[in-house]
Amino acid sequence: MMTYNNIYTDTPENIKRAAQIIQNGGLVAFPTDTVYGLGANVYNPKAVAAIFAAKGRPTFDPLISHIAEIDFLPEYAQTDDRAIALAKHFWPGPLTFVLKRKDNNPSLDLVCSGLPNIAVRMPNHPMALRLIKESGVPIAAPSANKFKCISPTTAEHVASGLGDKVDMILDGGPCAIGVETTIIDLTTPNMVMLRAGGLSKEAIEEFTGEKVLISHGDPNKPSAPGQLLKHYAPRIPMRINVPEQEVCDDEFFIGFGNVKGAHLNLSPTGDLQEAAAHLFAYMRLAESQSEFKKIAMSPIPMSGLGLAINDRIKRASYQE
């Protein structure tokens, strides 16, 4: 197994060191409840630019800002009773809000890709929250991987993908949820889901009593992360919604539920939470093997977390 010299364990000293790197304009990869993030000081445009450069990500694709306390939200973005109620109920957790920016602070232009809105979340991971608090600033952080590639759910995934482009990688173990946050737009009277993710549409609707509309956005002008047509992609072609009897001999088969002959199974019992947690790690294993030249994946139900899983694999399998 490969060893990496920029991965650090969870100690107070390492958190303090990571926070100093953030304060000094460097990049720190850190665990969240969803996937590993590549973090920089949200108010330092040069540091934020380094995120885009390290990932090879276009600057028109906005980033999510991470905070550690709900009380900070009104200082940072325009809020209302609905936003605060949602935050108190679902934060920390896998839910990102798109809100109007508090002011026209030019230092936030790059994080927001020049848009009048800002994306904010509070991650449900003790290591992430300690890092944000110790840093004393919100941390801008997309997933800590090369642009369009499979998202990382372990510190080793980050190191193998980004190498020494990251000043420090904090190791908090495998991510519990395994797919990115759900993003909802709160700048309009109706809540609009801009990206399906780790919190189900049904859970939001049950809490608010309101219908959540779905928008897939404009891939040429993203209003939130994760709206590009091709994203989360393995290095080899992938087909989705493939019944087990239609898997070809040259395809590595990732199954779901009670299927036979799967090389890996996201969840033999059909548990969508388990499937989401395994998704990116299994796609990485599939792309790294040499026996098969393609990947096939079982159909995944379109309910609950299945909405997020289907969003990811649809983009991962998109042929440009």
Which domain-ending residue is among 145, 160, 175?
175
154, 157, 160, 162: CA torsion to nearest 10: -100
Do 251 and 143 share a structural domain?
A: no
**How does DSSP classify residue 151?**
P
Which domain-ending residue is among 138, 155, 175?
175
Do 100 and 27 share a structural domain?
A: yes
Structural domain count of the chain: 2
Do 120 and 250 share a structural domain?
A: no
- Residue 228 has what pLDDT? 65
- Residue 318 has what pLDDT? 86
Residue 157: give the domain boundaries. 7-175
DSSP reduced 3-state for 117: strand
Which CATH number fits the domain that encloses residue 131? 3.90.870.10
Q: How confident is the model at residue 231 (pLDDT cuts 50, 70, 90)?
A: confident
Do 262 and 131 share a structural domain?
A: no
Q: How far apart are CA 311 and CA 313, in angstroms?
A: 6
Is pLDDT at 143 greater than 90 in this prediction?
A: yes
- Residue 233 has what pLDDT? 84
Is pLDDT at 180 greater than 90 in this prediction?
A: yes
Do 278 and 169 share a structural domain?
A: no
CA angle 148, 119, 158 (to 5 degrees): 35
Do 145 and 60 share a structural domain?
A: yes
194-228 per-position pLDDT tens digit: 999 999 999 999 999 999 999 866 666 666 676 66
Q: Are strands 213-214 and 28-30 parallel, antiparallel or unpaired?
A: unpaired
Which domain-ending residue is among 149, 175, 201?
175
Which CATH number fits the domain that encloses residue 297? 3.40.50.11030
81-112 per-position pLDDT tens digit: 999 999 999 999 999 999 999 887 888 999 99
Q: Give the orientation angle of helix 126-135 with respect to helix 12-23, to 10 degrees.
A: 50
**Residue 203, in any domain of the structure:** no
Do 281 and 156 share a structural domain?
A: no
CB contact at 8 A, 233 and 316: yes
The amino acid occupying position 52 is: F
248-302 per-position pLDDT tens digit: 999 999 999 999 999 999 999 999 999 999 999 999 999 999 999 999 999 999 9
Q: How far apart are CA 165 and CA 159, in angstroms?
A: 9
Of all residues in the chain, what percent carry a pLDDT higher than 70? 95
CB contact at 8 A, 278 and 150: no
Is pLDDT at 234 greater than 60 in this prediction?
A: yes
Do 251 and 171 share a structural domain?
A: no
